[in-house]
Amino acid sequence: MPIRGGATRTIQRDGEHELDIKKSRFICALARVETEEQARAFIAERRRRHWNATHNCTAYVIGAEGQIQRSSDDGEPSGTAGVPMLEVLRQRELTDTVAVVTRYFGGVKLGAGGLIRAYGNAVSAGIGAVGTLLRRNLLVVSVLVDYTHAGRLESDLRDSGYRVLEVDYGADVRVDLALAETELSDFRARLAEWTGGAALCEVNGTTTVEVEP
């Protein structure tokens, strides 16, 4: 599920958050995953850890386009747990994320509407606790320059807010940085200005970077 600029959104870190709702405990555990196998393994681990819970309901979204989406009510009335959990992941435009909400029943029935709100709120609160970030696919651009220009160029790059990935000091100095494709033309012009045309610049593949939204 790409968002503006071709970016995707995922959780910032793994973690869990607990809510108490009418004497029931709702523990939401979230994890970053890359495959459905990893999501299932995380779910299995949570179910082993909370084997005595009333329910361990699940939802996950995987893939840059959100190609894989699954949910489970784990014994709650149909559509009252896994679906609202999955809907929160969709609304937040999250991918490569798995959520498990463990419920320990406290003796007060919530009804269908109450369950939908409780499971949705548990995931929302969990996401708020762990945070989210954007993942962007950027070009890796290598700049080759001699030592007379290297120090000033590296300073100019960092001061201008470019994302410097690596600096390699060999016969010449190579600076690798990450750029959006739309930035490339402007960058080439600025590079020529900074070095008087003394630097070489080429695209060497792509990389994924993570930034806070």
In this structure, whether the domain defined by 134-211 belongs to CATH 3.30.70.240 is answered with: yes
Nearest of 151, 124, 162, 153 to residue 30 by alpha carbon: 124
Q: In CATH, which of 3.10.20.600, 3.30.420.40, 3.30.230.30, 1.10.260.40 is domain 4-130?
A: 3.30.230.30
Domain boundaries, the chain: 4-130, 134-211
Q: How many CB atoms lie within 10 A of CB 189?
A: 10
pLDDT tens track for 78-92:
999 999 999 999 999
pLDDT tens track for 110-146:
999 999 999 999 999 999 999 999 988 899 999 999 9
- Please give the model's pTM, rounded to 2 decimal places: 0.81
pLDDT tens, residue order, the chain (213 aa):
555 456 789 999 999 999 999 999 999 999 999 999 999 999 999 999 999 999 999 999 999 888 999 999 999 999 999 999 999 999 999 999 999 999 999 999 999 999 999 999 999 999 999 999 998 889 999 999 999 888 889 888 888 888 899 999 988 999 999 998 889 999 999 999 999 889 999 999 998 888 877
Please, what is the angle between helix 111-130 and helix 82-91, to 10°?
40
In angstroms, the CA 147 to CA 154 distance is: 11
DSSP label of 3: B
In angstroms, the CA 31 to CA 11 distance is: 8
